[in-house]
Structure 1
Amino acid sequence: MQLSDYQRAAVRTDQRPGADLEAITIGLLGLAGEAGSVATEYKKQRRDGAAYRASKIRMREELGDVLWYVADLCEKFGLDLDDVAVANLDKVKDRWRPSPHVEPFDRAFPEHEQLPRQARIEFQLRELDDGRTASAMVWNGAPLGDPLTDAARVEDGYRFHDAFHLAYAAVLGWSPVMRALMRRKRKSDPATDEAEDGGRAVVVEEGISALVFAYASAHDYFDGIQHIDQPMLETIRTLVGGLEVSVLRSADWERAILTGFEVWRTLNQTHGGTVELDADARTLCVV
């Protein structure tokens, strides 16, 4: 049976048809009640174990009631249950399944305009003339960008936040910040250089790094954490809307963020170190 066929059959048994406020309220309360009944059946199963022989039959019945109310509410809200199911599968795939193969966004550009596929970057702590401590990156024996301080009243290790940009470059194949620092902007195509590698894209990436860092500071900087809350990932997807990286999934962003913070935590604890980037393997690690 197709879900849309089930929906049409289910609504014919609706004792409170229509889409007025009272009808919708009854449907929502019914869904909540039946979801509670599913939990109650599971409680009985856990409590009585094998002695509760009706468990599977009762669970089928209660889940069927949940499905009926879902179909009924779809009808009241003008939705098609088939479409709802497909959209949900797309959402789940985006959230939990990384992109099977990430093609470099700069693959068609000259090598000198491509982000490096492999690289080693050293993070060194240096004391500035005014006594502040800064992190400086060195790549191929030359400085990479300017030394960074925490730029805050309290030291929190943000001076190592370029690890996040390197993780975006390694896992996502995307980092306007690193592209600018490494002088790998795609100037052979002015439109791409402006829209994808320009100042606005750089601001978006820096904003994402600052936003996630603030979130991470309340979550032990993701130490021991394997997943990031969906609203945070949805916010990031909104920020990058219209940019080339928007084709990647939330699962890709989660991997990039957690990779970056794993490297950041090590750099912060060891006061620097050498980071190895492998964009082909989509990895970044401290060596």
Structure 2
Amino acid sequence: MDINRYQLAAIKTLQEPAPGTDPAVVPLLGLVGEVGSLATAYKKRLRDGPGLVSGKQLVREELGDVLWYVAALAHRFGLDLEDVAAANLVKISDRWRTTPTADRIIFDADFPESERLPRQATLTFTLQQREGDGRTVSVLTHDGTPCGDPLTDASHIDDDYRFHDIFHLAHAAVLGWSPVSRFLLGRKRKSDLKTDEAEDGGRAIAIEEGISALVFSYAARHSYFENVRHIDHEFIKTITSMTAHLEVSILRSADWEQAIMTGYDAWRKLRTQGGGTIHLDLDEQTLTVEP
């Protein structure tokens, strides 16, 4: 049955609300109640076993009641159930399906080779004792040339945030986007003033650094994703809202989750090894860490 035809048929049995009552109250409370009934049906299925025919029929009946209240509630809010369903599929695709390889856009494809992120590169993280104060710093090099400044944890806690440039390299590998990596590797798109300022400039760099610190705080509360493969949707929405005005905004929430997990898989290895050699591959969207 067509879902909009179902909605039209369902609302014919919808009763008018009592005077002075919000029309959405009854279907909303009814939906809550039917979800409880569905949970009870599932409880009976667990108790009696999935082979019980009456149990399956009960679940079918309760799902039907849930669907009726969803149709009624959509009607009360002036929504078409088909539109609700279509929008939900878009949302779910954004959250759980990464951008297909064929649809990926290379943000710097039209720029000179010297201004493109390298499709493949080898970089090295090493730990050194800083002269003067003896603090341990992480030094990132590319082909023997230092990238940026030596980094400490910049914290009262020894948490190895000194390796956090690996997160920016993961953004480059998986998303094809990283203003910080462009700065570190000398790949800012200076041939186009607008792009250099808006996409590769100080504000974009600050946003990416902010994302790195924000995710690290979240990761610290989740064992640095060692046994966690998914991130709260609301948290990722915060990241996508921070980058809504940047070129990376065309990518999906699932792409961000993949980039974050790729970065933390590499970071944990660097932390264990006290550094390492990184093989960056934008074509394969991978970071490989060696001792």
Shorter-chain TM range is over 0.9
Counterpart AA for 1:127: Q
RMSD of aligned Cα (Å): 1.5
1:52 aligns with 2:38: no
Q: For residues 100 and 18 of structure 1, do their structure 2 counterparts lie closer, same or farther at Cα, with a shift above 3 Å needed?
A: farther
Pick one of 167, 170, 175 that aligns with 1:172. Answer: 175
Residue 18 of structure 1: CA displacement?
A: 8.4
Contact 1:118–1:279 under 8 Å retained in 2? yes
| Secondary structure of the structure 2 residue equivalent to 1:121 | strand
What pairs up with 1:141-220 in 2 under 5 angstroms? 141-220=144-223
Rate the CA distance shift 1:76–1:158 in 2: closer, same or farther, 3 A: same
**What stretches of structure 1 move > 6 A for 4+ residues in a row?**
none
**Secondary structure at the counterpart of residue 139 of structure 2:** strand
**Deviates further, 42-51 or 136-145:** 42-51
Worse-matched range after superposition: 107-116 or 48-57: 48-57
- Residue 265 of structure 1 corresponds to which residue in structure 2? 268
Would you say the 8 A contact 1:19–1:77 is kept in 2? no
Q: Is the 8 A contact 2:50 2:56 kept in 1?
A: no
TM-score by length of 2: 0.95
Structure 1 length-normalised TM: 0.96
Find the partner of 1:113 among 109, 112, 115: 115
* 2:209 partner amino acid: E
Paired residues of 1:136 and 1:143 also in contact (CA < 8 A): yes
1:155 and 1:14, CA in 2 relative to 1: closer, same or farther beyond 3 A?
same
Cα distance in 2 for partners of 1:114, 1:34 equals 55
Aligned partner of 1:176: which letter?
P
Matched, 1:79 2:79: yes
1:123 equivalent in alignment to 2:140 = no
Stretch deviating more after TM superposition (90-99 or 26-35)? 26-35
Alpha carbons 1:44, 1:52 under 8 Å: kept: no
Q: 1:52 and 1:81, CA in 2 relative to 1: closer, same or farther beyond 3 A?
A: same
Q: 2 CA distance for matches of 1:197 and 1:19?
A: 58
Report the Cα distance in structure 2 between the residues aligned to 1:230 and 1:2, rounded to whole angstroms: 30
> Within 5 Å, which residues of 2 pair with 1:228-267?
228-267=231-270
**Cα distance, 1:119–1:32 mapped onto 2, change above 3 Å:** same
- The one-letter amino acid of 2:218's match is Y
Hey, what does 1:37 align to over in structure 2?
37
SS at match of 2:147: strand
Match of 1:283 among 269, 276, 286: 286
Output the CA distance in 2 between the equivalents of 1:136 and 1:228.
Answer: 29
- SS of equivalent to 2:99: coil
Retained in 2: the 8 A contact 1:19–1:76?
no
| Amino acid in the other structure paired with 2:63 | L
* Aligned residue pair count: 287
Maintained 8 Å contact 1:185/1:197? yes
**Residue identity matched to 1:100:** P
Q: CA deviation at 1:17?
A: 4.3
Aligned identity (percent) is 57
Distance across 1 between alignment mates of 2:125 and 2:70: 54
Gaps of 5+ in 1: none
Distance 1:50 1:245, change over 3 A: closer
Displacement after TM superposition at 1:22 (Å): 4.1
Deviations 1:219-241 (A, max 9, x none): 00000111111111111110110
